[in-house]
Structure 1
Amino acid sequence: MQFDAILFPPRRAAMVEKGFWRDRTINDDLDACLKQRPDKEALTAVSIERGEVKRLTYRELGDLTDRLAIGLSRLGVGRNDVVSAQLPNWWEFTLIYLACARIGAVFNPLMPIFRERELSFMLKHGESKVAIVPKRFRGHDYEKMLADLRPALPALRHVRVIGGSGEDDFATLLATERSPSDTALLTSHRPAPDDVTQLIYTSGTTGEPKGVMHSSNSMTANIHAYAERLGLGVDDVILMASPMAHQTGFMYGLMMPIMLGARAVLQDIWDPRKALDVIRSEGATFTMASTPFLTDLTNAVADTALGVPTLRSFLCAGAPIPGPLVERARKVLGTKIVSAWGMTENGAATLIKLDDDDERAFNTCGCPLPGVELRIVDNDGKPLPTGTSGRLLIRACSNFGGYLHRPHLNGTDKEDWFDTGDLAQLDERGYVKIDGRSKDVIIRGGENIPVVEIEALLYRHPAIAQVAIVAYPDERLGERACAAVVTKPGQSIDLATLVEFLKSNKVALQYIPERLLVLDQMPATPSGKIQKFKLREIVKAALPQTAPAARA
């Protein structure tokens, strides 16, 4: 595979000079752990699906990594070949990335929820040479799905199945015996710090995914700053129940623990009661997940009266955190709730600080990490003053190398500013407040509706568990707003009640949604981000059933 990561070379000299790019790879960090703490437990994988707990020391992790690297190389995998893995948070996931790094292959994580349509596009676009899947997970037959897809994927030479049989069984790759020549193989083909090491597809909140290319330097630059701000180190136990095929799980659940010499605890299926047990039994000190995870864990602790005294901080990202949730979670969990903002293209780029007031966690998404610059501009690219909402641009040491085979979509100017597609504003202290996606703006009769603010208010309604506001077409005003909600168990809400609630909170009449759609669940990515492009389709299809408010 030829990678066109054209955004890395122009900024290399500046990033190295400023100390953000350290020219280390995950190989260096794993080797350091093997030398300094070989018998420390590196990885605890709690699999609800398989009913097992797998524990690996750094020594065991290193040995299995080398075995798998040799096994992959004997399948013909070499430098810049793409290895795809569609796996839940199993210990094999970590192993595959580390093995790819040993031989210079590029790792392509794929969400377990992807099916034929998404997989056929991604595996073909990324020219994957090897795909690794579970035989079955949550009732789905992945082995059969890949078998059906293979005729249309000429680059896909091998499929290995965890829990499979015969030569296609993943376990055969780990049974590889090392020969004297393999020692050179494991050291001579390792990637350079600026080589593409990860190909990850955008989560698809706005449409067709794009292949994001990252190097060791772009990812580790972010992780070092992230860990430092959160006060994380070698003694921490990092719980990761967010999908590792998403940047959250990959960077902070797979890479960060090894870089710190810490311990990772993985959970393959989100179950809040199980997560509570895991936090207590394993002594987890930190986790990162989206808002629904925080809500569920808070409810589990409240329902059981079992505390999580070791959990110092919970980083919540992916969407603005409702104020009432922060207040309740802080009280129930006794844990610092950290808000953040980031993207697949640059990792978590802004975080609040541990000594910030809790109010900043629900009013902002934090301030930039070292090596990150933000700029708010108008539609003509002119900088806007503090407190004014506009297009959010980012220039960061962690910015990606570009979209695979789509450089025209890179969205980065000659000064390295990347257009995030978000609307935001900066306060006087440099903290960012996300106002929504530029494509999610609702303009009603020439008036911009502050979607995020209205959503935040509606989260305070006692009947509402989730809410998202999207536009629907209107012949006279161009667009009007529809509130889609998921109610709490046993609760209900109608449009009149919703309107009255917003009026009681002094919301301007033109900002109040004019239709209401109650859903059983929101269309969302595996990381919990609401897919508003899908929601708009649902609302449009349901328009005859969504009663309008009785006003012009």
Structure 2
Amino acid sequence: MRFPAPDPVRAARYRAVGYWRDATIPALIAASAARTPDKTAVRDASGASLSYAALMEQSSRLAGYLAERGVGKGDVVTVCLPNWVQTVVAFVAAMRLGAAVNPVPVTYGRADLAYVLGKCDSRALFVAAKFRSVDFTEVLEQLGSDTLANRAVVRIGEGARTIGTPWDDARGHAALGAEPPIAADDTVAVLFTSGTESRAKGAVHTHNTILFGERALSSALQIGADDIAFMASPISHTTGFMHGVIMTLTLGGTLSLLDIFEGARAARQLAEHRCSWTMGATPFLADIADALEKSGERLPHLRYFMCGGAPIPEALVRRAGLVGLRVMSIYGATESPPHTVVHPEDPPQNAWTTDGRPLAGIEVRIVSEGRGLPVGEVGEEWSRGPNTALGYLGEPELTAKDFDSDGWYHSGDLARRLPDGSLRIVGRLKDIIVRGGQNISAREVEDYLAGHPSVQSVAVVGVPHPRLGETSCAVVVPRPNASLTLHDVTEFLLAKGVARFKLPERLEIWPSLPLNPSGKIQKYVLRKQLTETEGGTKA
């Protein structure tokens, strides 16, 4: 597989100042194992756990199996598994071979899986035979023998079909012999974007791009080997993979994984495992806060709840604070993870008024028509730094569109810089509703509605209108036992001083919003469904 290469000028500069180094991810995990071989490296909700020594031993055996099946340096290994101990073993095994890990969510359908396997030319695939309502052995059978040809398939558990090698057989292979030489500038991961706007793109990361970002984040938050990370965010996604698995294991900490999220269950595991930090989208925060409110229990060991992927309503941060949760907003992208975070010394209100300050070594600009904007003005957010992906796999035109020749990643997010250097994301370039020639920021209306006492979560999107071009529709998930009408919404917004042209003209009450694995609302799904139906409450 041919991957994009680091820009030699920027690479030399990053090495000169120590941002990029010679260590690789598997070498740092091995160093953690050498320091504390008996320490728990990872445990999950099933009760399974592995010490660092056991992680190294099992990943060596699994790497031996993959090597025998022809997987080697420069190949791609696709891992479609939940938040299980075995998933971490698969990641480490692939990296020890010099292969690139391609984690994909268990929510992927047959078409998604076929797409990434073809795009990556993956030489191996790990799947859960069954997880929740999906039997992946049937999905693989539907993919057909041509798609799976020349790919090693490993399954965990039993499904309706017998496809691939059972996990225990693969893990029982003889240990890997000499490990291949791996360079820190080699590709180690292909992470597909969440696909909120279009078909997912595979961002290519090296050991150095990932490790710089994780060092910068752990340094800012003073996270180290004594910390226990809780991850309910999928480790098949950037958040869980980078900030959960890689940051924790390279620091020598302990990782606690939850595969099926439910607020009370998450709160119990956070308490039982004495977790000291976590990261998740706003629904995770809301549900854990609800669980703590109901139980009366607290999490005295939890120092930080980092929250990203969507705006954090002030009301939610304040409610979380009442049950002892310190919320820290964080912002980044698969292409540039992470690059801003609320630092521990920042005022508490920064959690809902900002999206954090840039991490050391990472540059941020607010740009309009190629010109940098001063503090307070809104433009597109650009970032550049040693954490930035090299580009998209097999997509030179898209790479050139999103990554310019000077190394800036163009996020597509609208933002402004605040006087203290913090960033505030105010929407997407495409998240503007144009109603009769007037622009409406969906984010602005959402922020207001998030404060309504009957609203659990909300998304505002534009729907086609024959005369005005677009009008806005609010899709609301109400709080338990609450009700809401379009009149209620209108009166609430008018009382807040919102201009009439910004008022939603349609209200939909849904049991849930479509989310990608990182917790971002999939607005393109909303738009598609709303334009296909005349449902809802209209003005």
Query: What is the distance in 2 between the residues matched to 1:80 and 1:301?
Result: 46
Question: Aligned partners of 1:177, 1:70: CA distance in 2, in Å?
Answer: 6
Q: How far is the alpha carbon of 1:23 from its aligned partner?
A: 2.5
Q: Does 1:369 align with 2:359?
A: yes
Q: CA deviation at 1:485?
A: 0.8
Report matched runs for 1:341-380 at 5 Å.
341-378=331-368, 380=369
Question: What is the aligned partner in structure 2 of residue 201 from structure 1?
Answer: 192
SS in 2 for 1:279: helix
- Aligned residue number for residue 74 of structure 1: 68
Q: Map of 1:128-277 to 2, 5 A cutoff?
A: 128-153=122-147, 156-164=150-158, 168-178=165-175, 182-184=176-178, 186=179, 189-277=180-268
Look up the match of 2:12.
13
- What one-letter code is carried by the residue in structure 1 that aligns with 2:167? F
Q: CA deviation at 1:10?
A: 4.3
Give 5+ residue unaligned stretches, structure 1. Answer: 47-51
Asked whether 1:88 is paired with 2:82, we answer yes
- Paired residue for 1:118, among 112, 115, 122? 112
1:526-545 matches, cutoff 5 A: 526-542=517-533, 544-545=534-535
1:545 is paired with a residue of what secondary structure? coil
Deviation digits for residues 497-534 of structure 1 (CA, Å, limit 9, x no counterpart) = 10000011111112221221111211110221101111
Aligned-pair CA distance for 1:7: 4.7
Residue of structure 1 in register with 2:2 after alignment = 2
Q: Using the alignment, how far apart are the partners of 1:547 and 1:167 within structure 2?
A: 50
- The two structures have a TM-score, normalised by structure 1, of 0.94
1:466 is matched with 457
For 2:418, the equivalent position in structure 1 comes to: 427
Alignment equivalent of 2:100, drawn from 106, 120, 125: 106
Letter in 2 for 1:18: V
Structure 2 equivalent of residue 398 of structure 1: 387
Mean CA deviation greater in 146-155 or 481-490: 146-155
1:44 aligns with 2:7: no
CA-CA distance at 1:289 after TM superposition: 0.4
- Counterpart of 1:283 in structure 2 is 274
1:548, distance to aligned residue in structure 2 (A):
3.5
Q: 1:129 to 1:449 in 2, by over 3 A?
A: same
CA distance in 1, matches of 2:170, 2:192: 26
1:170 partner amino acid? W
1:36-73 residue CA offsets vs partner (Å, 9 max, x unmatched): 11111111122xxxxx3112111111111111111110
Structure 1 contact 101–190 (Cα < 8 Å) conserved: no
Residue 119 (structure 1) shift: 0.8
Alpha-carbon distance, 1:34 to partner: 2.1
The 3 A distance-change label for structure 1 pair 148 and 8 is farther
SS in 2 for 1:309: coil
Q: How far does residue 428 in structure 1 lie from its aligned partner after superposition? A: 1.4
Deviations 1:367-407 (A, max 9, x none): 111121111111x2122221111111111211101101101
Gap change, CA 1:148 and 1:547, over 3 Å in 2: closer
**Aligned counterparts of 1:166 and 1:318: Cα–Cα separation in 2:** 36
State the SS of the aligned residue for 1:228: helix
1:94 alignment partner AA: V
Give the whole-Å Cα distance in 1 for the aligned partners of 2:20 and 2:295: 45
Deviating 4+ runs (over 6 angstroms): none
The answer to whether 1:325 aligns with 2:316 is yes
Aligned counterparts of 1:205 and 1:390: Cα–Cα separation in 2: 20
| Distance in 2 of aligned mates of 1:304 and 1:156 | 52
Q: Distance in 1 between matches of 2:461 and 2:429?
A: 12
Q: Does 1:414 align with 2:408?
A: no
Q: Is the 8 A contact 2:152 2:164 kept in 1?
A: no
> In the aligned structure 2, how far is the partner of 1:464 from the partner of 1:535?
18
| Conserved? CA contact 2:282–2:312, under 8 Å | yes
CA distance in 1, matches of 2:18, 2:191: 26
Q: Deviations over 1:388-440 (max 9, x none)?
A: 11111111211101101101101111211111011111111221111111111
2:377 matched to 1:388? yes
SS in 2 for 1:53: coil
In structure 1, C-alpha distance between the alignment counterparts of 2:26 and 2:115, rounded to whole Å: 30
Alpha-carbon shift at residue 545 of structure 1 (Å) = 2.9
Label 1:155 to 1:369 Cα distance change in 2 as closer, same or farther (>3 A): farther
The 5 Å alignment of 1:466-505 reads 466-505=457-496
Q: Is the 8 A contact 1:44 1:265 kept in 2?
A: yes
Question: How many Å apart are 1:225 and its aligned residue?
Answer: 0.6
Deviation at 1:496, TM superposition (A): 0.9
From 306, 330, 342, the equivalent of 1:340 is 330
2:458, 2:469 → 1: CA distance? 23
- Contact 1:227–1:233 (8 Å) recurs in 2: yes
CA contact (8 A) 2:153 2:164 kept: no
* Cα pair distance change 1:471/1:228, threshold 3 Å: same
Tell me the distance in 1 between the aligned counterparts of 2:17 and 2:501.
49
Q: What is the CA–CA distance in structure 2 between the aligned matches of 1:476 and 1:341, rounded to whole Å? A: 37
> Structure 1 residues 545 and 272 mapped into 2: Cα distance closer, same or farther (>3 Å)?
closer
Partner of 1:32: 31
**Is the 2:473–2:505 Cα contact (8 Å) retained in structure 1?**
yes
- Equivalent pair of 1:336/1:354 in contact (CA under 8 Å): no
| Structure 1 residue 8: Cα displacement | 4.3
Say whether the 8 Å CA contact 1:26–1:259 is kept in structure 2. Answer: yes
Give the percent of matched residue pairs that are identical in Structure 1 and Structure 2.
Answer: 37
Counterparts of 1:473 and 1:6, CA distance in 2: 43
Counterpart of 1:183, as a letter, is: G
* Residues 127 and 155 in structure 1, CA contact (< 8 A), matched pair in contact too: no
One-letter amino acid of the counterpart of residue 2, structure 1: R
**The residue matched to 1:112 in structure 2 has which SS?**
coil
What is the CA-CA distance between 1:131 and the residue it aligns to?
0.7
C-alpha distance in 1 between matches for 2:141 and 2:528: 32
Cα RMSD (Å): 1.5
1:293 corresponds to 2:281: no
Q: Residues 428 and 53 (structure 1 numbering): CA distance in 2 closer, same or farther, change over 3 Å?
A: same
Q: What residue number does 1:49 align with? A: none
Structure 2 residues without counterparts, runs of 5 or longer:
none
2:342–2:351 Cα contact (<8 Å) kept: yes
